[in-house]
């Protein structure tokens, strides 16, 4: 009961920030831009065969694919930025304002504060991911024909099945963002400078993505935090590649637990000097 | 180990007690050095010392924000920092200046802190927030964003946050810091009101005048050590009275004073003085006359509170206010 009230207060605080609303607006605009660009570039419904991931060429035939294109494009930078801003700001921002000492003197409880912060980070990441999917789906429906979905494995499934797979893809991406959020929360407990924490999260993401693309480092690839993010295309096969999905979810879980433990150990033992 | 468990009734429990409380920073600097605080319930306790003497670090430890290196402490009889979540809701605090969200209104800021309190009843939140704002005279500015508040309003909002719930103890760290004389008077009046309600007040300051006007008890810090603790009356009694003789021959007068076994005899131009001790002024006067010294003036003076503080804390203490 009291935890729900604290969570609501925290969520409202995050959602009332103009900066955060702007970020959500940006995640909504990108799928529109991508959709329009693809519509202009692919005038022939069954002709286009451009570059990019396997499903890029399919959007002209089925608007549902705009969602997968939007998610995979925004996962490279935009969604991580959105999560990094809220997660990096979570504890460091309070420390910067000085409100952290008052929250703890209330007393909010250190572990409880951390749990509420993380709950809101996950919620915000989930919102951003669903905004991308929903806007892309609407734009795809308007800009392209929509019908039974031909999967990457060649099988064609009903539109309802396709939309169900879209839901799982969105949840998978949200899980990836939840793991990133835990990393951001941990980094946020280390500093009083929100901008520094946000930058650190982004540097981590970009470094991981770069290392993941160096062939000579293929051995460490699977252990990088961003490696499994785009593996959601495993859901676009029949049967779904569950082994890959489970690997991905395991990776997210391990990163979330390790980062969460670190954040807890650090935050429950550190002197609040802000 | 905890100190002997105090009585359980909140009325008889020491509001704040620490034993050998010590804080050494990671760099090795000893910020708080074995201090034994004892704040009686109902007191207005002035925690005095120059800037950098360890007051704020002590307060941060009291509130569980900083962890001690050693020693023990209890707030309202509950050991800290382990009991933080059990006792802090009975303690209002202002630490190192007010801190709120600049983009929220006064009301929304108080609602934020109230929402974080698991013991706060959401059904009464509105009434309690309005009551607290009313008490510090901020009702008219309740809907204004915090970033547009004046310094005095910010300070009062912080005190309002400390009054959101019924409290047994209020800890205020430099509550008049940076305020103009009008703001200082307002905060001082507020502290008097809070104390009049029977709430124990622990207020830190580097301003003597402030403490002298509102406090019943004082603790004096100097470089991390508690060099005095007691009532203001007790502090006044620690000052040794001096006898001062105005005369044309201070050297000879000082010799007479020394001959009477008075401590610290001094001779300056036109004056001789010494610590009075147990000797009666009448006897000194008689001895001076007996020694043939022309006495132009004779006075017994007790040191001012100001002199006592400077004596306790050394230079750097802002006595003028």
Chain B hits for A21, CB-CB cut-off 8 Å, are none
Chain B hits for A269, CB-CB cut-off 8 Å, are 67
Chain B hits for A8, CB-CB cut-off 8 Å, are 115
> Is B123 inside a domain boundary?
yes
Which of the four pLDDT bands, split at 50, 70 and 90, describes residue A274?
confident
Cα A273 from Cα A65, distance rounded (Å):
50
Q: Which of B240, B237, B283 is nearest to B260 (CA)?
A: B283
Residue that wins the pLDDT comparison between B118 and B242: B118
Residues B208, B285 share a domain? no
> Is B38 inside a domain boundary?
yes
Out of A40-49, A120-129, A197-206, B306-315, which region has the weakest mean confidence (pLDDT)?
A: A40-49
Cα B102 from Cα A63, distance rounded (Å):
44
Residues B253, B229 share a domain? no
Q: Tell me the pLDDT tens digit for each residue of A148-165.
A: 888 888 888 999 999 999
**Tokens read off for A217:** 């480092």
Residues whose CB falls within 8 Å of the CB of residue A16, separated by 6 or more in sequence, listed in order:
B103, B104
Q: How many CB pairs under 8 A join A and B?
A: 83
Which ranges constitute the DSSP H helices of B265-313? 281-290, 305-313
Residues B143, B270 share a domain? no
Out of B117-131, B160-174, B210-224, B267-281, which region has the weakest mean confidence (pLDDT)?
A: B267-281
- The mean predicted confidence, pLDDT, of chain A is 91
> Is B113 inside a domain boundary?
yes
Map out the domains of chain A as residue ranges.
2-267
> Is B194 inside a domain boundary?
yes
Tally the residues of chain B.
321
CA closest to A112 among chain B residues: B116
Which of the four pLDDT bands, split at 50, 70 and 90, describes residue B8?
very low
Q: Which of A46, A29, A48 is nearest to A38 (CA)?
A: A48
Residues B142, B223 share a domain? yes
**Strand blocks (E) in chain B:** 16-24, 30-35, 38-39, 44-48, 70-75, 78-80, 91-94, 169-173, 200-205, 217-222, 225-231, 242-247, 266-268, 271-275, 295-301
Residues B199, B265 share a domain? no
Q: What is the mean pLDDT of residues A36-59?
A: 64
CA closest to B171 among chain A residues: A105
Interface of A with B (CB under 8 A): 2-3, 5-6, 8-9, 13, 16-17, 97-99, 101-109, 112-113, 269, 271-273
> Is B11 inside a domain boundary?
no
Q: Tell me the pLDDT tens digit for each residue of B157-204.
A: 999 999 999 999 999 999 988 788 888 888 888 899 999 999 999 999
> Is B247 inside a domain boundary?
yes
Q: Tell me which residue in B67, B88, B115 faces A107 most closely, judged by beta carbons.
A: B88
Structural domain including B142 reads 16-236
Which of the four pLDDT bands, split at 50, 70 and 90, describes residue A104?
very high
**Cross-chain Cβ contact A101/B85 below 8 Å:** no
Residues B162, B109 share a domain? yes
Residues B267, B165 share a domain? no
Interface of B with A (CB under 8 A): 60, 63-67, 84-85, 88-89, 91, 93, 95-97, 99-104, 111-113, 115-120, 122, 161
Cα distance from A99 to chain B (closest Cα, Å)?
5
CATH code of B296's domain: 3.30.70.980
CATH code of B186's domain: 3.40.50.300
Residues B231, B246 share a domain? no
Cα distance from A166 to chain B (closest Cα, Å)?
37
Which of the four pLDDT bands, split at 50, 70 and 90, describes residue B316?
low
Cα distance from A267 to chain B (closest Cα, Å)?
11
Q: Tell me the pLDDT tens digit for each residue of B75-121.
A: 999 999 999 999 999 999 999 899 999 999 999 999 999 999 999 99
Chain B hits for A22, CB-CB cut-off 8 Å, are none
Residues B270, B199 share a domain? no
Residue that wins the pLDDT comparison between B317 and B150: B150
Chain A hits for B24, CB-CB cut-off 8 Å, are none
Q: Percent of chain B beyond pLDDT 70?
A: 94
Predicted pLDDT at B253: 87
Residues B287, B190 share a domain? no
> Is B316 inside a domain boundary?
no
The last residue of a domain, from among B181, B206, B236: B236
Predicted pLDDT at A8: 95
**Tokens read off for B72:** 């023990």
Q: Which of B249, B257, B242 is nearest to B294 (CA)?
A: B249
Predicted pLDDT at A53: 57
**Cross-chain Cβ contact A9/B112 below 8 Å:** yes
CA closest to B102 among chain A residues: A97
- Taking 50 as the threshold, does the pLDDT of residue A220 lie above it? yes
The last residue of a domain, from among B181, B210, B236: B236
DSSP assignment of chain A: -HHHHHHHHHHHHHHH-HHHHHHHHHHHHHHHHHHHHHHHH--STTT---SSSTTGGGTTT-TTHHHHHHHHHHTTTHHHHHHHHHHHHHHHHHHHHTHHHHHHHTT--HHHHHHHHHHHHHHHHHHHHHHHHHHHHHHHHHHS---SEE-TTS-EE-HHHHHHHHHHHHHHHHHHHHHHHHHHHHHHTT-S-HHHHHHHHHHHHHHHHHHHT-GGGTTTGGGSTTTTGGGGGGGGSSS--HHHHHHHHHHHHHHHHHHHHHHHHHHTTS----
Residues B249, B222 share a domain? no
> Is B220 inside a domain boundary?
yes
For residue A150, list its beta bridge partners: A156
Residues B141, B244 share a domain? no
**Tokens read off for A86:** 């809220």
Cα A19 from Cα A38, distance rounded (Å):
29
Write the Ramachandran bin of B298: left for phi over 0, alpha for psi from -120 to 50, otherwise beta. beta
Domain count, chain B: 2
């Amino acid at each position: 009961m009291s935890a729900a009230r604290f969570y609501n207060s925290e969520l409202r605080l995050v959602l009332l920030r103009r900066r955060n609303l702007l970020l959500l607006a940006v995640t909504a605009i990108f799928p529109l831009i991508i959709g329009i660009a693809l519509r202009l570039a692919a005038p022939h419904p069954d002709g286009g065969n451009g570059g990019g991931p396997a499903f890029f060429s399919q959007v002209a035939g089925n608007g549902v694919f705009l969602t997968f294109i939007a998610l995979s494009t925004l996962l490279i930078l935009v969604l991580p930025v959105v999560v990094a801003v809220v997660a990096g700001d979570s504890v460091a921002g309070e420390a910067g304002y000085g409100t952290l000492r008052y929250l703890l003197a209330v007393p909010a409880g250190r572990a409880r504060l951390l749990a509420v912060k993380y709950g809101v980070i996950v919620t915000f990441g989930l919102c951003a991911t669903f905004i991308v999917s929903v806007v892309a789906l609407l734009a795809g429906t308007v800009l392209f024909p929509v019908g039974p979905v031909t999967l990457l494995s060649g099988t064609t499934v009903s539109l309802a099945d396709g939309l169900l797979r879209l839901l799982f893809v969105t949840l998978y991406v949200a899980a990836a963002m939840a793991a990133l959020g835990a990393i951001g929360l941990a980094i946020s407990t280390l500093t009083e400078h929100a901008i520094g924490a946000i930058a650190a999260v982004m540097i981590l993401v970009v470094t991981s993505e770069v290392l993941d693309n160096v062939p000579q480092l293929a051995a460490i690839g699977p252990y990088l935090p961003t490696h499994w993010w785009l593996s959601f295309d495993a859901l676009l096969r029949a049967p779904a590649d569950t082994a890959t999905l489970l690997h991905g979810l395991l990776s997210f879980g391990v990163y979330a637990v390790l980062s969460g433990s670190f954040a807890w150990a650090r935050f429950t033992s550190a002197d609040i000097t802000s | 180990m905890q100190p002997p468990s105090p009585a359980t009734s909140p009325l008889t429990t020491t509001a704040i007690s620490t034993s050998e409380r010590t804080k050494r920073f990671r760099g090795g600097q000893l910020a708080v050095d074995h201090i034994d605080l004892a704040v009686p319930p109902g007191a207005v306790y002035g925690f005095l010392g120059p800037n950098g003497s360890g007051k704020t670090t002590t307060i941060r430890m009291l509130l569980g924000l900083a962890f001690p290196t050693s020693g023990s402490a209890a707030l309202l009889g509950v050991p800290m920092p382990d009991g933080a979540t059990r006792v802090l809701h009975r303690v209002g605090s202002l630490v190192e200046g007010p801190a709120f969200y600049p983009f929220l209104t006064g009301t929304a800021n108080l609602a934020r802190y109230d929402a974080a309190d698991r013991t706060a009843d959401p059904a009464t939140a509105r009434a309690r927030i309005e009551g607290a704002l009313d008490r510090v005279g901020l009702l008219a500015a309740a809907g204004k964003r915090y970033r547009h508040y004046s310094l005095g309003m910010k300070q009062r909002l912080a005190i309002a946050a400390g009054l959101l719930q019924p409290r047994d103890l209020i800890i205020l760290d430099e509550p008049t810091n940076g305020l103009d004389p009008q703001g200082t008077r307002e905060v001082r009046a507020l502290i008097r009101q809070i104390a009049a309600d029977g709430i124990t007040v622990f207020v830190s300051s580097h301003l003597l005048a402030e403490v002298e006007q509102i406090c019943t008890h004082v603790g004096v810090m100097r470089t991390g050590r508690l060099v005095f603790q007691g009532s203001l009356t007790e502090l006044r009694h620690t000052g040794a009275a001096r006898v001062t003789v105005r005369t044309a021959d201070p050297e000879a007068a000082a010799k007479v004073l020394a001959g009477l076994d008075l401590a610290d005899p001094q001779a300056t131009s036109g004056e001789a003085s010494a610590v009075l001790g147990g000797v009666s002024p009448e006897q000194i006067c008689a001895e001076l006359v007996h020694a043939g010294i022309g006495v132009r003036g004779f006075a017994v003076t007790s040191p001012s509170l100001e002199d006592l503080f400077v004596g306790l804390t050394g230079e750097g203490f802002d006595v003028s206010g």
